[in-house]
Homo-oligomer: A and B are copies of this chain.
Amino acid sequence: MDRIVLDSPLDMHVHFRTGNMLKFVVPYTACNFAGAMVMPNTDPIIDNHYALCRYREEIKAACKDAFFEPYMTLYFQTSYTRQMLEECRQDVLAIKLYPRGITTNSGHGVLISDPEVETVLGYMTELGIPLSVHGETDGYVMRREREFMRTYERWAVKYPKLKIIMEHISTAEAVNVLGTYPNVFATVTPHHLLMTTDDLCGDMLRPHLFCKPLLKSPEDRAALQALVLGELSDELQRKVMLGTDSAPHAKNKKECDCGCAGVFNAPYALPSIVPLFVEKDKLPELQRFVSDNAKAIYGIDTLPKMVELHRESQRANAFLGHLVGPKDDSYVCVVPMYADQILRWRVRKTWVDPVRTKVVLPKSPLAK
C-alpha cells in the first residue's frame, strides 16, 4: 500500500502557545488536521470565556484561510462557578486539569486533595463537560503516571457520567485503567507510541525528546501500540485518540542548562505514525485513532477534510524557523521530532470532499 487517505484527522491535544510562536506553529497543525483541541496552559492561562474566545480568534487568524477548527479548553480552576461554566459551555470542548507544578505553566494548577476540585467536577458532570487531565503526581519521575492512577479510578467511580480523558498516556498501567472504567478515555502521542526512554537518553541526550510524562519502557510502549492497533480489544481501541501533545519551545530553551519539556511533532505527526498501522494492515484502526474515536467521544463533527499520504521518503527538517535571529520574542527556531531523519511517508495533499464543499485548501508550508 503506497497511498492512504485519512478522513478529517484530529489532534486532540496540542499546544499553540501565543504571539509569534503561535503564528509560527499553528499552520503546521492546520495544514495536516481538520481540527485540534488546544491546551489552555498559555501565559497567562485561559481561565475565562472572554480569554478563550480571544485565544480562538488568535489561532484562527494564524491559520489564515486554512480549513481548520480549533476546539477550545479552559484551564481547570477551583474558583469556577456553575453559572460561569454554563455561560461558556457552548465554546468549551473540555476543561483541562493540571496538578500544580508538574509541567509547563502549571503553577496555576490544583492540589488534587483540595475538596473544591470535586465541587467543580460536579458542575462539569451536570453540564456534560469532559475532563481532560495531565495525570502525574509529584513523585519519582518514572512512577508519576502510575501513581496518578488512583486518582483517575476514584473520579471514574465517583462521577460515572463524567467523561475523563487521560491525556498523553505513557504506561501499561494507564492502558489497564482505560479498560476498567467505561467513562475513562485516553490520548496517545506519536512519541510515546514510537519511542522509549532509550531515545531520550540511552545513547546521547536528546533534549528535543524531553517531555512530560517522560518517555517510558519498551513494555509500556508495547502496551500503547497494542491498544491503538486494536490488539487488546475493539472496544478499548475505540476509547483512544491521537493527541500529539505537540509543544514547541524555542531551540535555545531546549538546548541549555535547564531545558523545557515538550516535543514539537506537529509537522511530522501523521507521517510518523502511519508505518506502525500500515505494517500490520490496520488502516481502519488508524482512521479511528486519528479521527473517528474523537468524534464519537466528544460528539463533534468536522467538515470532510481529506489528508492524503504517500509512501515516499522525506528528510525531516533539522529545524524550522530562523537558526540565528534577533534575541527578542520574534525569534522562533524550533526543532521538530525526527529532525534531520528520514521518514518513509509524507503528506502529499489535502482537500475538502468536493461532494460536500468547494473550499480549496492552501498549500502545506512543508509541501515542496
Contact = CB atoms under 8 A, between A and B. Distances in A.
Contacts of A210: 201, 205
A210 B204 CA distance: 9
Contact of A207 (B140, B197, B207): B207
A179 interface: no
Contacts of A259: 204-207
Nearest to A102: B203
A299 interface: no
Residues of A contacting B: mostly: loop
Interface stretch (A10-18, A88-96, A250-258): A250-258
A230 to B, nearest CB: 26
A339 interface: yes
A48 interface: no
A159 B254 CA distance: 47
A122 interface: no
A198 B253 CA distance: 19
Interface in A149-164: none
Contact of A140 (B198, B214, B258): B198
A201 B141 contact: yes
Interface of A: 140-142, 196-198, 200-202, 204-208, 210, 214, 217-218, 254-261, 335, 339
19 contacts: A140-B196, A140-B197, A140-B198, A140-B217, A140-B218, A142-B142, A142-B197, A200-B201, A204-B259, A204-B261, A205-B205, A205-B210, A205-B259, A207-B207, A207-B259, A208-B257, A255-B255, A255-B257, A257-B335
